[in-house]
Chain A
Amino acid sequence: MSLPLGTTVRVSTRQHERHHRTPGYVKGRRGRIERAHGHFRNPETQAYGGDGLPEQELYLVSFDLPGGDRVLADVFEHWLEAAE
């Protein structure tokens, strides 16, 4: 799945008890793709001795803050869904 810059996405709210790098404060939020970083080994499996393959696309995604400011975070594609 390749997400073009500017695409609106929503971060998944699925439960994930084990190690992952999607912070709680972005889960369920609507955001915008700002940058595509390329693909990287998956930390969720590497953290348990796995090889992290297949690599996943990593995106810099921006979210609204009050007053027109934004917060941005690097989120892996498997946490993102296309949204309206």
Chain B
Amino acid sequence: MSHDHDHSHEPVTGAGEAPAAARVRALEELLVEKGVLEREDIRRRIDWLVSRTPADGARLVARAWADPAFKARLLADAREAAVEVGLDPGPSPVVVALENTEQVHHMVVCTLCSCYPKSLLGPPPDWYKSLPYRSRAVSDPRAVLDEFGVELGDEVEVRVVDSTANVRYLIVPRRPEGTGSLGEDELASIVTRDSMIGVALPAAPA
């Protein structure tokens, strides 16, 4: 395959692809060729990643709403509670669920990088990884919540949790009014990813 010598040091990418795309593919090829990694292992990890969705976290929240004894177990040790429900809590040794109440509203950030409970919530949204979120969440959380359309009264204490180490945090949002008759599956369907980060409030179905 001939190519223009002017571009001989440019990565070969498909139309519209970031240059990084070709470099990552090259990285994979090299690591497999050198016997450092196995292609099958990489494939399995890709499959795992694409299977991660917020539905898992939502199941934990819905069960906690429906079952006070489970909620107590979830708040004591969210990793164990996830395993109990047959979910994969991910590689973090500690997962902590924090409950939002009438008095306290938690939200999560990782100011140093972008740590996130992706096993239970899927990959983090771009805004979570963004420099403005990482900067502003810990100095003016109410302004950030305002941008997300969440207004809390002065009597509510906002607690911003910065996951600086290997502990992953999941927020258990408040159960909305008017959901008393919903079964667990229906409850899970109203628990959004953003509500489990703490930047949104779940809404009862219309």
Decide if A and B touch, CB cutoff 8 A. Answer: yes
Q: How many residues of B contact A (CB 8 A)?
A: 21
A72 and B111 within 8 A (CB):
no
A38 and B94 within 8 A (CB):
yes
> Whose C-beta in chain A lies nearest to the C-beta of B105?
A69
B162 and A23 within 8 A (CB):
yes
Q: From A69, A71, A76, give the contact of B162 (CB < 8 A).
A: A71
B159 and A69 within 8 A (CB):
yes
B93 and A74 within 8 A (CB):
no
**A residues near B154, Cβ cutoff 8 Å:** 67-68
Is B190 an interface residue when CB atoms closer than 8 A count as contact?
A: no
A22 and B157 within 8 A (CB):
no
**A residues near B166, Cβ cutoff 8 Å:** 40
> Whose C-beta in chain A lies nearest to the C-beta of B162?
A73
B150-171 CB mask vs A (1 if < 8 Å, else 0) is: 0000100111111111110000
User: When chains A and B are docked, how far (Å) is the Cα of A80 from the Cα of B165?
Assistant: 15
A23 and B164 within 8 A (CB):
yes
Least CB distance, B102 to chain A, in whole angstroms: 15
Q: From A25, A35, A38, A76, give the contact of B139 (CB < 8 A).
A: A25
**With A21-B112, A58-B167, A62-B159 in contact, is A71–B138 under 8 Å at CB?**
yes
Within 8 A of A (CB), among B133-185: 138-139, 141-142, 154, 157-167
User: When chains A and B are docked, how far (Å) is the Cα of A54 from the Cα of B145?
Assistant: 40
Q: From A25, A35, A69, A70, give the contact of B96 (CB < 8 A).
A: A35
A25 and B138 within 8 A (CB):
yes
User: When chains A and B are docked, how far (Å) is the Cα of A68 from the Cα of B158?
Assistant: 8
> Whose C-beta in chain A lies nearest to the C-beta of B141?
A69
20 A-B residue pairs with Cβ-Cβ distance under 8 Å, sorted by A, are A21-B164, A23-B112, A25-B139, A37-B94, A37-B165, A40-B93, A40-B165, A58-B165, A58-B167, A60-B167, A65-B158, A68-B154, A69-B141, A69-B159, A70-B158, A71-B160, A71-B162, A73-B164, A74-B162, A75-B164
Binding site for B on A (CB under 8 A): 21-23, 25, 35, 37-38, 40, 43, 58, 60, 62, 65, 67-76
Closest 6 CB pairs of A and B: A74-B165, A69-B158, A73-B162, A72-B161, A71-B160, A74-B164
Binding site for A on B (CB under 8 A): 93-94, 96, 111-112, 138-139, 141-142, 154, 157-167
